[in-house]
Structure 1
Amino acid sequence: MMIRKFISIVLICIGLVSFTYPDIKTWYADKQSEQEIESFNQTYHIEQKDKENEENSQELSIKESQTSEQQEKSEDMINDALYQEVLNYNQQIYESGQNDFSDAWNYKQVPISLSHLMTDSFGYIEIPAMGEKLSLYLGATDMNMAKGAAVLGDTSIPIGGSNTNAVIAGHRGWKSQKFFKYIEKLKVGDAVYVTNPWGTMSYRVESIDIIRPTDGDAIKIQEGKDMITLLTCHPYRSHGKYRYLVYCIRDESLSKHGETQQVEQKYTPPETIKASDGIIYPSSEPDIDTETSIRKIGLVVIIIAIVYTIINRILYYRKRKKESKDERLPNLTSR
């Protein structure tokens, strides 16, 4: 009897650990990501640069002779070797028409030398509507994708400027980490922020689409635009059957430090999504919600089982204690 009860307790504990392990792992991964982002901010003095960039932007906006791109470039950026290398790379792939973009091998390549970088990441991306802030790496290698979001090779590196489109890829959930799992919470008009070694840039969601994995033209540079494109698999747990795209256009009116700063909002995505080619795709949210509900129900069942077992053992030991006490009572029968 004791052995069976001991085994049942062990099995319940194993079940509890199995259910909570992904959450613990997610929490730990989030803490590591926060530390890496904080280290990046301190290394490149991001808070100070953002403040200076905002002040410079306000001053230059009243000078009609200044173009938007000239306003973005401070003297430090112009004299920065890394910035010039990125600038030349972005110009090169635009002028070449991204001829090698169809080769999946190029997506994984680190597009420039990282010798000038003082950190492992190139910065980070913040998506308030999703409640996500992820480190940003150059080249969609398996290692980079396992740590955060990654800029596809042969696409623009996110430093802003016309004729640029940085395609930023993220897993739709990966080994207990969310990454771009809840990307369908993004809607047109939402803000996305990208921070690089020279400060933070603001983008606004312009449109959303679903494409086939072979449709590389859909994520190429668009003439005259300053863009980023978020990319992940669709539907959830489909092993990459389609690609979910979120096109974002530069919009500094959504500055993180301004009155228009956005916060995470409750938003229920529609049950279906109509792509630009007219095809109707199902939303992944019901599948994600079902998975979440099953996990919660399973966790509640395990907790109830543990509480029941503990109460049962307490009552059992109290009963044994009472029986033992009764056995030791003195014999008061008259002689």
Structure 2
Amino acid sequence: MTQLQYSPRRLARPPQLWSLQRLAIVLIATIGVGVLLYPTAAAWFSDRVHDTQISGYATTVKDLAQTEQQRLLAQAHQYNAELPAGPLRDPYSLNENGETETVGSGSAAYKKMLAVDPEGMMGTISIPAISTNLPVFHGTDEATLAKGVGHLFGSSLPVGGTSTHAVLTAHSGYVNSTLFDSLKRVVTGDVFSVTVLDQTIYYKVDQIKTVLPDETEDLRQVKGKDYITLVTCTPTGVNTHRLLVRGERIADPVKANGPQTVANNVTNPGFPWWVVILVGTAAGTIILTRPQGRRVRKQNQRLEEIEWHNDDL
């Protein structure tokens, strides 16, 4: 009887545990998902930083003597009383070189106002309608706007008072933080608050406008009024106009959980679900590309059994 011959070269070879192809697939999949998750991850880390800053400010204020807080607030009100009611410059003005101009960077007296925090914070802002809690810093230079909300030099300090108008501005569409991204969702009637030292003052949105950068008339002081206007660039990524969200001072709303303090403005950014997605992607790719060693070994065993059987014929 003719003997069947099976060449050993027909036997499948079990793949190595890790091959360059498999490693490349896992890396590409993980990096691809990582790129998609970067904005979410960056915003999460930014929120963590903001919460740390607000918590640090709250601790500093808590340790500050009440008499010192009253002195600083009185000093700020005096500063506002002496502030000229002239026109203001757009906080995102560019110089002839296309660079953001630093507004008020040379005012040493201004920088000393409400300065109790080593981070340079003057207070915090809370906008419940869009779940936004951010630190407020002196000035609107690029370094300041990269880390939070800037107070426009030349506008009133955000401590309230008759015939005052504070201007607070922050980026929209900033790659590393959400900041004022959701300001466009605020509607007339929404309430926001600003906390400076141990004082929290509330404002109800009464006007929303989109204007050109050089149209700053709506940022002027209005006799007898107490305003705060929130400013950001719009449309996001295009930045040809400015979104102005103005609030008028209202009485402190009754809170079921007691008086508002700086500590109340601290919000936990929550669990970083983006980490789970990233790790899950890597793990899933590893599982899907795992070597089929067991199946290959069984295939080899069957081929060997056939060869041995035919050798015995």
- State the TM-score bracket (shorter-chain normalisation): 0.7 to 0.9
1:92 alignment partner AA: E
**Amino acid paired to 1:323:** Q
Deviation, 1:191, is 1.0
Pairing 1:286-325 to 2, within 5 Å after superposition: 307=284, 309-310=285-286, 312-314=288-290, 316-325=292-301
Higher gyration radius (CA) = 2
Shift of 1:174: 1.2
Q: Following the alignment from structure 2 to structure 1, what is the Cα–Cα distance between the partners of residues 282 and 111?
A: 56
Contact 2:116-2:122 within 8 A present in 1 as well: no
The 8 Å contact of residues 191 and 203 in structure 1, kept in 2 or not, is answered as: yes
Alignment of 1:84 with 2:83, yes or no, is no
Mapped partners of 1:177, 1:116: distance in 2:
25
Deviations 1:95-121 (A, max 9, x none): x22256579557353561327622120
Letter matched to residue 194 of structure 1: V
Unaligned runs of 5+ in 1: 50-73, 262-295
1:191 & 1:75 partners in 2: Cα distance?
Answer: 30
Higher helix fraction (1 or 2)? 1
Match runs of 1:166-177 below 5 Å: 166-177=166-177
Tell me if structure 2 keeps the 8 A contact 1:195–1:201. yes
Corresponding position of 1:14: 31
Q: Tell me the equivalent position of 1:241.
A: 240
Structure 2 letter corresponding to 1:242:
H
Gap regions ≥5 residues in structure 2: 1-14, 94-100, 261-273
Q: Output the CA distance in 2 between the equivalents of 1:194 and 1:115.
A: 16
**Separation of aligned partners in 2, 1:40 and 1:16:** 36
The answer to whether the aligner puts 1:159 opposite 2:176 as a matched pair is no
CA shift in 2, pair 1:124/1:305, >3 Å: closer
In 2, are the aligned partners of 1:106 and 1:154 still within 8 Å (CA)? no
d(CA) in 2 for partners of 1:222, 1:249: 11
Distance between the aligned counterparts of 2:59 and 2:254, measured in 1? 20
Structure 1 192/115 Cα, relative in aligned 2: closer, same or farther at 3 Å? closer
Q: Structure 1 residues 158, 115: CA separation in 2 closer, same or farther (over 3 Å shift)?
A: closer
Query: In the alignment, does 2:59 pair up with 1:42?
Result: yes
SS in structure 2 opposite 1:246?
strand
TM-score by length of 2: 0.73
Closer/same/farther in 2, CA of residues 221 and 194 from structure 1, 3 Å limit: same
Q: Which residue of 2 aligns with 1:98?
A: 86
**Distance (whole Å) between structure 1 residues aligned to residue 283 and residue 55 of structure 2:** 40
Residue identity over aligned pairs, in percent, reads 23
- In 1, Cα distance between equivalents of 2:159 and 2:228: 10
Q: Distance in 2 between matches of 1:223 and 1:304?
A: 59
Secondary structure in 2 aligned to 1:201?
strand
Aligned residue runs from structure 1 range 60-209, under 5 A: 78=70, 80=71, 82-93=72-83, 96-98=84-86, 101=89, 104=93, 105=101, 107-109=103-105, 112-114=110-112, 117-119=115-117, 120-209=120-209
C-alpha displacement of 1:205: 0.8
Deviation at 1:41, TM superposition (A): 1.2
Residue 324 and residue 230 in structure 1: after superposition, are their counterparts in 2 closer, same or farther (change >3 A)?
same
AA in 2 matched with 1:22: P
| In structure 1, C-alpha distance between the alignment counterparts of 2:102 and 2:286, rounded to whole Å | 58
Instruction: Output the CA distance in 2 between the equivalents of 1:249 and 1:321.
Output: 77
What is residue 68 of structure 1 aligned with on the other side? Answer: none
Structure 2 CA distance for partners of 1:256 and 1:9, relative to 1, 3 Å: same
- Using a 3 Å threshold, how does the CA distance of structure 1 residues 320 and 39 change in structure 2: closer, same or farther? same
- Tell me, yes or no, if the aligned pair for 1:191 and 1:254 is still in contact at 8 Å: no
State how many pairs are aligned: 268
Amino acid at match of 1:117: A
Equivalent position amino acid for 1:234 in 2: T
Aligned counterparts of 1:168 and 1:207: Cα–Cα separation in 2:
15
Counterpart for residue 5 of structure 2: none
CA contact (8 A) 1:127 1:193 kept: yes
Where relative contact order (Cα < 8 A, 6+ residues apart) is larger, the structure is 2
